[in-house]
């Protein structure tokens, strides 16, 4: 893997920070993009000191989709790899009661990420090279009562990445779908998560780098999730609708 720039979209997240450190440790210049990007100055300094690579900060709002073309055009260099870690979980109970809260979850997990990756996809296709990485979720593999608003947005994003991969494969652009399962982050803090099914952000970062290097299409960070979701997807609907999972 040559040392082209890597763009991290949603760089303020725990996973985004871990991904930045992993690629920086391999010698890649890093572009950190997030809302209130100036708050990432400490992270920038840490990456530069620890890994000796140049790091730039870029103001980015995933929900301000009308700004995405200008955001990409303003980057100092078009990245070779772009990793979209943008997402918002919320709570199912709130999303059921509050349509605006539900809309924010849908936009944060589908509309915003799909919009920015669409802009980057066109730039990468014109260049005939590059890798786009989207963080989706096993929650999108089948709608469940406990998180169907979040899961539906992730299902849409998974389908989007699949279609984009099909479109761009012949143009020299790789598209990777990442299904992390549970991850120990600030977003899941306070939740009771099974340790054998819960990855650390650094584990997600390692899996992403391996997927890029090996030109994988879809990865489950912990392979056991592939089998768990296979079982869940194949439960007959007459039984599934009586379950609470």
What would the pLDDT profile of 59-91 be if each residue is shown by its tens digit? 999 999 999 999 999 999 999 999 999 999 899
- HSE (CB half, 13 Å, CA atoms) of 123? 22
N- to C-terminal Cα separation, the chain: 41
Span 134-172, pLDDT tens digits: 999 999 999 999 999 999 999 999 999 999 999 999 999
Counting every residue, how long is the chain?
245
Is residue 220 part of the annotated active site? The answer reads: no
Q: Among 11, 15, 70, 63, which Cα is nearest to 42's?
A: 11
Q: Among 7, 124, 115, 136, which Cα is nearest to 64's?
A: 115
Asked if the model's pLDDT at residue 1 lies above 70, the reply is: no
Residue from 110, 148, 150, 220 carrying the catalytic annotation: 150
**Domains defined for the chain, CATH in brackets:** 71-240 (3.40.50.720)
Span 116-139, pLDDT tens digits: 999 999 999 999 999 999 999 999
Bridge partners (DSSP) of residue 82 are 7, 132
Tell me the mean pLDDT in the region 219-230: 95
Question: Residue 121's CB: how many other CB atoms inside 10 A?
Answer: 21
Q: How far apart are CA 86 and CA 63, in angstroms?
A: 10
């Amino acid at each position: 893997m040559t040392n082209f720039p890597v763009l991290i979209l949603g760089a303020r997240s725990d996973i985004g920070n871990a991904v930045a450190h992993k690629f920086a440790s391999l010698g890649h210049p890093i572009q950190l993009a997030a809302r209130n990007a100036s708050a990432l100055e400490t992270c920038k300094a840490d990456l530069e000191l620890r890994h000796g690579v140049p790091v730039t900060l870029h103001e980015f709002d995933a929900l301000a989709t009308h700004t995405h073309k200008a955001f990409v055009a303003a980057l100092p260099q078009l990245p070779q790899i772009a990793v979209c870690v943008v997402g918002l979980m919320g709570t199912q109970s709130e999303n059921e009661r509050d349509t605006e809260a539900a809309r924010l979850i849908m936009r944060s997990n589908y509309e915003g990420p799909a919009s920015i990756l669409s802009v980057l996809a066109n730039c990468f296709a014109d260049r005939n090279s590059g890798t786009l990485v989207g963080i989706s979720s096993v929650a999108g593999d089948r709608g469940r009562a406990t998180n169907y608003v979040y899961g539906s947005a992730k299902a849409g994003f998974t389908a989007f990445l699949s279609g984009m991969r099909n479109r761009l494969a012949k143009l020299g652009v790789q598209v990777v779908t990442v299904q992390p399962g549970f991850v120990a982050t600030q977003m899941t803090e306070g939740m009771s998560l099974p340790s054998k099914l819960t990855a650390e952000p650094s584990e997600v970062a390692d899996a992403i780098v391996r997927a890029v290097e090996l030109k994988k299409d879809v990865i489950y960070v912990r392979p056991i999730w592939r089998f768990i979701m296979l079982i869940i997807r194949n439960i007959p609907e007459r039984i599934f609708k009586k379950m609470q999972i």
